[in-house]
Structure 1
Amino acid sequence: MKRKRSLFSILGAILLVVSFSAFASYQKKKNEPVFLDNQVFQRYGDKWGMWVDFRFEKKSLEAKVQEFGADLEEVHSLNAITEKEKKKLNRPVFIAYGNAYSAKLQESGFYREAVDSQIDQFIWPVLPNNRSRISSRIGRRWNTLHTGVDIAIPKESIVLAAADGVVEISGRSGDYGNTIKIYHHDLNHFHTVYGHNSQLLVKAGDIVKKGQIIAYSGNTGKSTGPHVHFEVRYHNVYLNPENFLTPFEEGVATSMVSFAH
């Protein structure tokens, strides 16, 4: 009997330690700053750098790699660049910054942007500014159900992940055009959907962080102008995204954070 009590006491103590560690880990994650990728500092995987769109870039891949202080073979591997593409690239490629280049950017006054956002909250997939606006909300439209929120924004603007998650779909999807669907296991098992993009930067299976760039906005699929169609779903039930977000018109207050912090 005493042995059983001792065993239960030991198991109870272990459970208490594990529970406390899990809670401490959750609190640490909860209190970490949420970074919003901008035009200078962007992420892919666990690396900071920049997506360079070689549809428009005049320099060669080798020249940009040298400029950023990156490793060419690593860039080839990270972006799955084929032998044919090495001769001529026609898509965005992620190039991680070398330490010296990153430090140079910060010396010039460029930093990462951070925002306060609880772990159980979404953020808008685009940054509210004077060039973006909500053009259509969820509800009945043209005798059909409009299943999300449309955010009018200039073509090729950056599109951000609304929360941490795993990319389930990245590709062409009917009227949605170039679409990304993200599964948020830690956020009530919700899904978010981002439609009508011009270019998709993440692939199915990628783990993404809240505020990470995932696409460039566009006008693909059934669309009357450049915008991001944003949905929140729960078991394929369409929810109003605005119920999980701060009012779009209020904008986002960000702070600048260096890599020294």
Structure 2
Amino acid sequence: MKRNRSYYIILVLILFVVTYSAFAAYQKQKNGPVFLDNHVFQRYNEQWGLWVDLNAEKKSLLEKASEFGILAQEVMEINQLKESDLGRLKRSIFFPYSAEYMRGLQEKELFRETVESPIDQFIWPVLPNHKSRISSRIGRRWNTWHTGLDIAIPKNSIVLAAADGVVEEAGRGGDYGLAVKIYHHDMNHFHTVYGHNQELLVKPGDVVRKGQIIAFSGNTGKSTGPHVHFEVRFHNVYLNPENFLTPYEEGVATSIVGFAD
């Protein structure tokens, strides 16, 4: 009888050690550095590259692909484009980098940025810079209830996913203009909303990672100037986004890291 009890105690201890180790490994992974898409390195379909507006650059797809050291066909495939689409492109398309091109960027000391972020905390949906500021907070405004946080930022600035999730909506949304709504299953089933964008880079059903570029900011919808309208919702109840973020006035401390995954 005593021998059986000893076996049970040993078994429970082993299970506890294994469970704790797995949980600790999970926490370490989830609390590790978050890679931010920036103006040099952006992520799409598991590849690193850059979103490019060919009309703005006045270049052909073939010219830009050659610049990044890749084949035009690779660009067509990752963007799900057909030959007939090329003559009427009105959106940015993603160009993956070749290994040689990435090495060249590193030699120029251009790298990714990271930020430390716990699993239960969102990150700011804009890149840290001196040109952005909070222009309006959640609460009563002009005899109505302002449902989120407005971050004034230049048009066509990068908009980032505040946490891992799945895109539920992406398109025109009334006063929100071009907006993205993301469902965060692993974060208490919260939703985040990003409004007034100039261009959207995701579609419903896309799985996005924290820090991934999802749009370029703008002034669409009911808006008095370029900004990102950012909301945090729980069962369609509007929460104060600042309760889930580091203080904006402190800025966001990022680190420069190498390119190797």
Tell me, yes or no, whether TM beats 0.5. Answer: yes
Alpha-carbon contact 1:128-1:248 (below 8 Å) kept: no
1:141-160, CA deviations, whole angstroms, 9 ceiling, x for partnerless residues?
Answer: 11111000001111000001
1:18 shift after superposition: 7.3
Partner AA of 1:215 in structure 2: A
Structure 1 segment 58-77 matched on structure 2, within 5 A: 58-77=58-77
1:84 shift after superposition: 2.4
Structure 1 segment 45-194 matched on structure 2, within 5 A: 45-194=45-194
Partner AA of 1:191 in structure 2: H
1:114-155, CA deviations, whole angstroms, 9 ceiling, x for partnerless residues?
Answer: 111112111110123221111111011111110000011110
Q: Partner of 2:156: helix, strand, or coil?
A: coil
Look up the match of 1:228. 228
Look up the match of 2:43. 43
In the alignment, the residues of structure 1 paired with residue 143 and residue 80 of structure 2 have an alpha-carbon distance, to the nearest angstrom, of 44
Counterpart check, 1:23 vs 2:37: no
Alpha-carbon contact 2:184-2:191 (below 8 Å) kept: yes
Q: Partner of 2:56: helix, strand, or coil?
A: coil
1:35 shift after superposition: 0.9
1:49-102, CA deviations, whole angstroms, 9 ceiling, x for partnerless residues?
Answer: 100112312221111111112232232122122332223422100111111101
In the alignment, the residues of structure 2 paired with residue 21 and residue 59 of structure 1 have an alpha-carbon distance, to the nearest angstrom, of 53
Alpha-carbon contact 2:38-2:127 (below 8 Å) kept: no
CA RMSD of aligned residues (A): 2.4
Look up the match of 1:238. 238
In the alignment, the residues of structure 2 paired with residue 134 and residue 22 of structure 1 have an alpha-carbon distance, to the nearest angstrom, of 40
1:248 shift after superposition: 1.0
In the alignment, the residues of structure 1 paired with residue 27 and residue 242 of structure 2 have an alpha-carbon distance, to the nearest angstrom, of 26
Q: Partner of 2:105: helix, strand, or coil?
A: helix
In the alignment, the residues of structure 1 paired with residue 16 and residue 66 of structure 2 have an alpha-carbon distance, to the nearest angstrom, of 52
Q: Partner of 1:127: helix, strand, or coil?
A: coil
In structure 2, the gaps of 5 or more residues are none
1:4-41, CA deviations, whole angstroms, 9 ceiling, x for partnerless residues?
Answer: x9xx99x9799768745742551242243101111100
1:222-259, CA deviations, whole angstroms, 9 ceiling, x for partnerless residues?
Answer: 11111000000000000000111111121111111112
In the alignment, the residues of structure 2 paired with residue 52 and residue 231 of structure 1 have an alpha-carbon distance, to the nearest angstrom, of 27
Alpha-carbon contact 2:45-2:78 (below 8 Å) kept: no
Identity percentage of aligned residues:
69
Q: Give the TM-score taking structure 2 as reference length.
A: 0.90
Q: Partner of 2:57: helix, strand, or coil?
A: coil
Partner AA of 1:118 in structure 2: P
In the alignment, the residues of structure 2 paired with residue 225 and residue 13 of structure 1 have an alpha-carbon distance, to the nearest angstrom, of 60
Alpha-carbon contact 1:113-1:257 (below 8 Å) kept: yes
Alpha-carbon contact 1:45-1:207 (below 8 Å) kept: no
Give the count of matched residue pairs. 258
In the alignment, the residues of structure 1 paired with residue 55 and residue 172 of structure 2 have an alpha-carbon distance, to the nearest angstrom, of 19
In the alignment, the residues of structure 2 paired with residue 228 and residue 118 of structure 1 have an alpha-carbon distance, to the nearest angstrom, of 23
In the alignment, the residues of structure 1 paired with residue 17 and residue 48 of structure 2 have an alpha-carbon distance, to the nearest angstrom, of 35
